[in-house]
Amino acid sequence: MAKVISQDVGAFYQHYPKAAIIVTAHAKEKDNAMAVAWHTSISSNPPLYGVAISSKRFTYELIIDSKEFGVNFLSLEAAELVAAVGGSKGKEVDKFHQFNIATDKSIKTEVPILNTAYAAYECKLVDDRSYGDHQLLVGEIVAVHWLKDAFAPGEILDLDKVNPILYMGKEIYTTTSKDMARALDRKVYGKR
Ligand SMILES: Cc1cc2nc3c(=O)[nH]c(=O)nc-3n(C[C@H](O)[C@H](O)[C@H](O)COP(=O)(O)O)c2cc1C
């Protein structure tokens, strides 16, 4: 296979797939939700999570207003919902009503937690930094919601129970395959 090396970086989709998640917010007596593919854990102590969100998004306005956001992890069955909240604007429509989104009560914030999420984080905003055309919002995780049955011992996702949504870019969604999972102990492999 020929390798292409180019200084014309373009949209750089080469690092996909990425887990597609739904970020939620509440402010001005409004709930909102948007799809996010650009997100990452940043620190375990304190527990920090980062999401890259354009300042054009209504969700961004709500997060800056409330200083809180929710991070919701979903299985492939919710891919249509990801496309729905990622294809509509909270400024124009009440997405929770329009897409019939059921929520659970949050405990440390006012952010809506999606009832169908196999895991969700409630975050308090600790930083908002501008990088190019997106803002990197960093939140301290102050509460974790998770479906105990969806996780194997050691709190790792049980792929027999949940197929997490992966986003390929260009509106394509897929998931993981349990058959391809391999346990490779870094202590063993680091010594070879
Ligand atoms: C799969 C997917 C992933 C997305 N990832 C991001 C992202 O990481 N950051 C971002 O700012 N927008 C992202 N978007 C776009 C927003 O979800 C979209 O603009 C949404 O309409 C914003 O809603 P709001 O204006 O109600 O906040 C993504 C959209 C999709 C469909």
Q: CB of 37 closer than 6 A to ligand 1?
A: yes
Q: CB of 20 closer than 6 A to ligand 1?
A: yes
Q: Can you tell me which atom of ligand 1 is nearest the CA of 38?
A: 8
Return the pLDDT at 55: 98
Q: CB of 50 closer than 6 A to ligand 1?
A: no
Q: Can you tell me which atom of ligand 1 is nearest the CA of 88?
A: 21
With bands split at pLDDT 50, 70 and 90, how would you rate the model's confidence at 152?
Answer: very high
Q: pLDDT tens-digit profile of 15-39?
A: 999 999 999 999 999 999 999 999 9
Q: CB of 99 closer than 6 A to ligand 1?
A: no
Q: CB of 163 closer than 6 A to ligand 1?
A: no
Give, using CA atoms, the residue closest to atom 29 of ligand 1: 86
With bands split at pLDDT 50, 70 and 90, how would you rate the model's confidence at 160?
Answer: very high
Mean of pLDDT values over 65-84? 98
Return the pLDDT at 192: 82
Q: Ligand 1 centre from 71 Cα, in Å?
A: 13
Q: Which are the contacts of 68, defined by CB distance < 8 A and separation ≥ 6?
A: 25, 26, 109, 110, 111, 122, 123, 124, 125, 139
Q: pLDDT tens-digit profile of 46-58?
A: 999 999 999 999 9
Mean of pLDDT values over 92-106? 98
Rounded to an integer, what distance in angstroms lies between the CA atom of residue 26 and that of residue 172? Answer: 29
| 33, 77, 88, 125 from 101: Cα distances, Å | 10, 14, 14, 24
Mean of pLDDT values over 90-98? 98
Q: CB of 57 closer than 6 A to ligand 1?
A: yes
Pairing mode of beta strands 68-73, 103-104:
unpaired
Q: CB of 59 closer than 6 A to ligand 1?
A: yes
Residue of 22, 26, 34 with the most ligand 1 atoms within 8 Å of its CB, for mutation: 34
Is it true that the peptide bond before 112 is cis, omega within 30 degrees of 0? no
Q: Which helix (H) or strand (E) holds 35?
A: strand 30-36
Q: Which residues pair with 124 in a beta bridge?
A: 68, 140
Q: CB of 24 closer than 6 A to ligand 1?
A: no
pTM metric for this prediction: 0.98
Output the average pLDDT for the chain.
Answer: 97
Rounded to an integer, what distance in angstroms lies between the CA atom of residue 19 and that of residue 51? Answer: 12
